[in-house]
Amino acid sequence: MQNIRKIVFLSLLSCEKNSRYSNLEADSVLSTGKIEEKNKGFYTALFYGVIERKITLDYQIAKFCAKPSDSLQQNVVILLRMGLYQLLYMNSVPDHAAVSETVRLAKETVNPGAVGFINAMLRNAAQKIKDVNGTVKLITPDRTRDICGFLSITYGYPRYLCKLWVNAYGEENAEKIMQAMNRPPHLSIRVNTLKISREKYLYMLDEAGYSAFASEITNDGICLDNGNISSLPGYNEGLFFIQDDASAMAIKAFKVHQGYTVIDTCACPGGKSFLMSIYMKNNGRIISSDIHENKLSLIESGKKRLGIDIIETRCADATVYDPSFEEIADRVLCDVPCSGFGTIAKKPDLRHKSKESISDLPKLQLSILQASSKYCKKNGYLMYSTCTLCPPENEENVRSFLALNPNFKLVSMVTNFPYESLSDGFFYAIFKRNN
């Protein structure tokens, strides 16, 4: 019988020790064939669940631990997180199994003294953290006295991010953002309407046995409950590509047309360039730039698969102005590097970014916007976008840009909140250059 919990333990340990991204670790494990098909769902649920809820779990551990929790060995902490996650969030696992299976794994991975400690702590938690009906009651800071602490522990987000959202959007909306991004993510794809209609592709998916439905907010999007992207029907034929609805709505608002010259300054992996090409009926010119030369191959292979030939790729630092592109573009897109907080549902590692790691982003983003704006023709349009919910990276940068550039006016500014639809959190602003 396969010890699936040990595989989860080793994956979590790899992420902790090597600062490895969870998606890379999971993809590596799931693609090797080491996990039996029947166990893949359990692996994914427990592995990603522990990472998503680490802040919540560590707070519970600290409350139940007789000694400082930061003095515990790494292996012990990971085991406690796994056991607690099963107790709190996995209804399919009986409490006695959550405890006994964690203890059994502990006997293989920690010293004998720690095994007894883990057993006692999990049994104590099982008794105190659930009532007689099995309803979970987390230990949290008092909501009325410490709203940010309460939200942080209840939903598993860093306190600084809770404070940022509460201050920016209010308590109710901040909580709705966290609830929405704690739901299981779905796969969102964009149909390549150069080759097939959405209705025909939905029929192909249905015939192949996939559970899929048309997006309610875009006319070319499809949402799937699951599925390996490369195994979906029509992948090699270029009938679709991955893209969230929020990104697609922004590109639609940008109103690109056939024959336009468009510059996409931070283009990789290429989804927005692909969609603009489709909206332009593969007629015009798109210059897709990125600072990472090795990533440009994603655009090259993607455009070939999709049957797009109007995209030119180039390696360039978007903060550095290129005079050869001055005023050549009808549209300039700046989808800048950002903190990514709108995509936490799909990228759980983002929950654990430090406040310091994102502090320099607004300055970088504004420098990209400043340099890129010079490529815009008179009466042309410039878009600034991020996949984050963070006013210093969004609204504040828009205000700074307008103050520095009176020759541009703001046409629209939109924040897409994840609780409004099944899409990511996303922000965009569109500017028009004056004649």
Residues annotated as part of the active site: 387
Q: What are the distances in angstroms from CA 322 to CA 51, 421, 432, 434?
A: 42, 39, 20, 21
Burial class (CB in 10 A: 0-12, 13-18, 19+), 424: buried
Strand, coil or helix: what is 417? coil
User: CA triplet 95, 96, 102: central angle to 5 degrees?
Assistant: 95
Q: What are the distances in angstroms from CA 64 to CA 69, 118, 138, 339?
A: 9, 11, 12, 33
HSE (side-chain half, CA atoms, 13 Å) at 36 = 7
- Among 229, 233, 321, 228, smallest CA distance to 271 is for 229
In whole angstroms, give the CA distance from residue 267 to residue 269.
Answer: 6
- Among 322, 265, 60, 223, smallest CA distance to 273 is for 265
In whole angstroms, give the CA distance from residue 245 to residue 421.
Answer: 9
In whole angstroms, give the CA distance from residue 60 to residue 366.
Answer: 40
The alpha carbon dihedral of 35, 36, 40, 41 has a sign of: negative
- Among 379, 382, 417, smallest CA distance to 398 is for 382
In whole angstroms, give the CA distance from residue 300 to residue 48.
Answer: 32
Residues in the chain: 435
In whole angstroms, give the CA distance from residue 339 to residue 165.
Answer: 14
